[in-house]
């Protein structure tokens, strides 16, 4: 303690974050659905209408941002870099201390209610540096989720927890393979669409084309579209 008291105040980083948050009632067993229960979409629709409950965060990450980038006055005024405290008269800025609850899942929130009146609240702190690009990415994603939630565009609470569970609980190799597969599928679909446009733009007759196959293809696409429209995963 004596050595800590000798540290000049200018060399001490101070950041604060509330340890409680109001969320719609969470399911601590999310991600382990029972096949004999209601569908995940039905459960999500029910949860979306629940009232907000105050939760205690049981974990918190203390992460100094590892940053050797040279910033300018304009860069400090854009994006997540607005959180950096600049000192123009000295030509420096204060290193950022990132208090993160970004990776918390449903099971790591404790609801505050009467049952906890005489129970201790546990808080686990972890310390690790974070690179600039990771901090920037997490901060921008959190800001986007908050903005979308305010606009009511999507159920950001459910989607954010689902994305975090996907990243944390999935094998990195499987996740990388899935991402590569989706990227290749998207690329080939775009190339096929481009070739279709070029073909019909240059085509001047129906010679060599089967009207029956075109009608069957159109009918199959209509059936697929109607199925997706009626599907709970896409229409709700």
Buried/exposed 62-96: b ≥16 CB within 10 Å, e otherwise: bbbbebeeeeeeeebeeebbeebebeeeeeeeeeb
Percent of the chain exceeding pLDDT 90 equals: 21
Ramachandran bin of 79, using left for φ above 0, alpha for ψ from -120 to 50, beta for the remaining angles: left
Q: How confident is the model at residue 236 (pLDDT cuts 50, 70, 90)?
A: very low
Q: What is the pLDDT of residue 234?
A: 47
Q: What is the pLDDT of residue 190?
A: 93
66 has which bridge partners? Answer: 131
Q: What is the pLDDT of residue 150?
A: 75
Tell me how many degrees the CA angle 5-10-12 measures, rounded to the nearest 5. 55
Q: What is the pLDDT of residue 119?
A: 83
Residue 127 contacts by C-beta under 8 Å, 6 or more apart in sequence?
61, 62, 63
Note whether 70 and 84 are within 8 A (CB).
Answer: no
Q: How far apart are CA 67 and CA 4, in angstroms?
A: 24
Q: How far apart are CA 138 and CA 128, in angstroms?
A: 15
Quick: pLDDT tens for 29-57. Answer: 765 555 445 555 545 555 556 778 899 99
- What value does the mean pLDDT of the chain take? 81
Q: How far apart are CA 160 and CA 162, in angstroms?
A: 5
Q: What is the pLDDT of residue 205?
A: 74
Q: Which of 70-79, 137-146, 193-202 has the lowest mean pLDDT?
A: 70-79
Percent of the chain exceeding pLDDT 70 equals: 83
Per the model's pLDDT, the better-predicted residue between 223 and 235 turns out to be 223
Is the pLDDT at 188 greater than 90? The verdict is yes
Q: What is the pLDDT of residue 35?
A: 42
Q: What is the pLDDT of residue 182?
A: 92
Per the model's pLDDT, the better-predicted residue between 100 and 116 turns out to be 100
Ramachandran bin of 208, using left for φ above 0, alpha for ψ from -120 to 50, beta for the remaining angles: left
pTM: 0.66
Q: How confident is the model at residue 232 (pLDDT cuts 50, 70, 90)?
A: low
Is the pLDDT at 233 greater than 60? The verdict is no
Per the model's pLDDT, the better-predicted residue between 68 and 29 turns out to be 68
The pLDDT of 96-113, averaged and rounded, is: 90
Is the pLDDT at 183 greater than 90? The verdict is yes
**Residue spans per domain, the chain:** 2-169, 171-204, 205-236
């Amino acid at each position: 303690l004596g050595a800590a008291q000798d540290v000049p105040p200018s060399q001490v980083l101070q950041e604060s974050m509330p340890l409680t948050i109001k969320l719609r009632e969470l399911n601590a067993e999310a991600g382990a659905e029972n096949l004999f229960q209601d569908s995940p979409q039905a459960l999500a629709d029910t949860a979306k209408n629940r009232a907000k409950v105050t939760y205690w965060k049981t974990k918190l990450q203390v992460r100094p941002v590892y940053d050797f980038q040279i910033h300018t006055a304009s860069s400090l005024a854009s994006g997540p870099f607005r959180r950096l405290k600049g000192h123009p008269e000295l030509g420096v800025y204060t290193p950022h201390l990132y208090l993160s609850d970004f990776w918390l899942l449903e099971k790591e929130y404790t609801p505050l209610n009467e049952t906890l009146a005489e129970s201790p609240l546990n808080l686990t702190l972890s310390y690790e540096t974070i690179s600039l690009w990771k901090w920037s990415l997490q901060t921008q994603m959190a800001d986007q989720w908050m903005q979308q939630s305010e606009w009511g565009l999507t159920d950001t609470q459910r989607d954010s927890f689902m994305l975090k569970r996907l990243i944390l609980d999935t094998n990195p190799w499987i996740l990388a393979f899935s991402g590569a597969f989706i990227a290749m599928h998207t690329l080939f679909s775009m190339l096929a669409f481009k070739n279709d446009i070029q073909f019909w733009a240059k085509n001047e007759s129906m010679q060599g084309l089967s009207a029956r196959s075109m009608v069957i293809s159109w009918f199959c696409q209509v059936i697929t579209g109607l199925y997706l429209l009626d599907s709970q995963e896409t229409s709700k």
